[in-house]
Amino acid sequence: MKRFIVVLILLAGGLAAAALTIPTDAATVNGSVISQNLLNADITAIANSRDYQCYLNAQAYVESQGQQLLAPVDGVGQTPGSGMHPTATTAFVAPYVDTEISHVMVANLAAQRGLRATAKEVDAARSELSTQISQTMSEVSHVPNTSVTCGPAPTLTGPVVLATMPASFVTQTATFDATVGLLEGHLSGADTTAGLMRYFNANRSIFDTACFTVAQYTTQADATSALTKVSSGTPFAQVAAAAGTGSGPQGCDILYGIASQLPAGTNLQTLADNQVSAPISINGSYLLLEITSRTSTSFAKATSSVHLALERLGATDAVKLLQATEKRAAVSVNPRYGTWNPTVAQVEVPTTPAVGDVLNPAVNDPGAASATATPSGSATPTTGKSG
């Protein structure tokens, strides 16, 4: 699934034209242009904000479950603290040119359906972005031994991070987020009362109001041991009371709202009343959960939960639509940033040229100067970065 990271990246420097005509745009998507100037401004803004770069790394870390970080922004030729950003690494550029291609496609798909974000919707998306940044940074700050570091300052928050970026950058990011939301709502039916009502009537049971009791444990073994006691006849209320902090009756709420906070596959809606669940792993704890009662909920009371459910369905539909659109799109990418591969619908990092093919390799790597006498294609490149 393609990840929507709302940033626009491009090299800020230029390449010698030599005998070839270099495209003046970063890319075109079905005739829509991704301009060089806009992307140059965006990369400069990102390169100037260590806080925003830290957020991007934190986002990548969280979404990959700790397996991935972004490549550094600055390429060779950067003087630390100079405020100048003449180059960016190809490993950083290519994925975000790809992301911007997806942004254009989303905007076009929305426009084809007559969807356009209002100022109010953009403002709401801006607020949600700020909250998302705060949540991401808080989550990473609680992970032991994480490789995401932002210096000695306190945990970054959304308002702090966004304040380091130009207002125009934040607005275009929020506009994209709002547009995605409109497209998701349109595809799922969440954008109309009739659509919400249809889904509610077809899935009433998952919007029941449920009262529940929870027992929380620090290890799976403890949760399993407690479940064994219940199976042996000990009332769950008694077991939960003995579990300590965070355990016991939790009040009543719409079942979908409870289930949406639990890991996929928990299938809380199929749990019979007064039956204790298997241990549920969540945020480093293990829960046992029992639904003690369940009553029907009116549409008026369940509307927000129905909207959330349809938004999630719409997100899946939007990704499928985007993937299908990418497969048949006419995409052209400036070769300095990579090559569009229609088979996998993404921008691939440019191949590093052999040292002998570079006009003046000493400019990029003084140690490679002696390799200029080597026949073209036989030397091993010493750097994977674009200059």
User: For the segment 202-248, what is each residue's pLDDT rounded down to a tens digit?
Assistant: 999 999 999 999 999 989 999 999 999 999 999 999 999 998 778 88
Nearest to 110 by CA among 35, 168, 176: 176
Contacts of 23 (CB under 8 A, 6+ apart): 332, 334, 335
Displacement of CA 116 from its chain's centroid (Å): 22
Report the alpha-carbon distance of residue 357 to residue 355 in Å, rounded: 5
Q: Which residue ranges form the domains of the chain, and what is each CATH number?
A: 25-195+311-348 (1.10.4030), 209-295 (3.10.50.40)
Mean pLDDT of all residues in 20-33: 77
Phi, psi of 106 (to 5 degrees): -65, -45
For residues 252 and 71, give the distance between their C-alpha atoms in angstroms, rounded to a whole number: 46
Residue with tokens 């799922």: 188
pLDDT, tens only, 98-146: 888 889 999 999 999 999 999 999 999 999 999 999 999 888 877 766 6
H helices within the chain, ranges in order? Answer: 36-47, 50-63, 90-112, 119-141, 158-162, 167-188, 193-202, 220-231, 236-243, 255-259, 299-328, 361-364
pTM of the predicted protein model: 0.69
* 79 phi, psi to nearest 5 deg: -100, 115
- Please tell me the distance from the alpha carbon of residue 235 to that of residue 248, in angstroms, as a whole number: 12
Burial class from Cβ neighbours inside 10 Å (0-12, 13-18, 19+) for residue 267 reads exposed
pLDDT at 41 over 90: no
Are the CB atoms for 144 and 96 separated by under 8 Å?
Answer: no
Cβ atoms within 10 Å of 341's Cβ, excluding its own? 13
> Could you tell me which residues are beta bridge partners of residue 276?
290
**pLDDT reported for residue 11:** 32
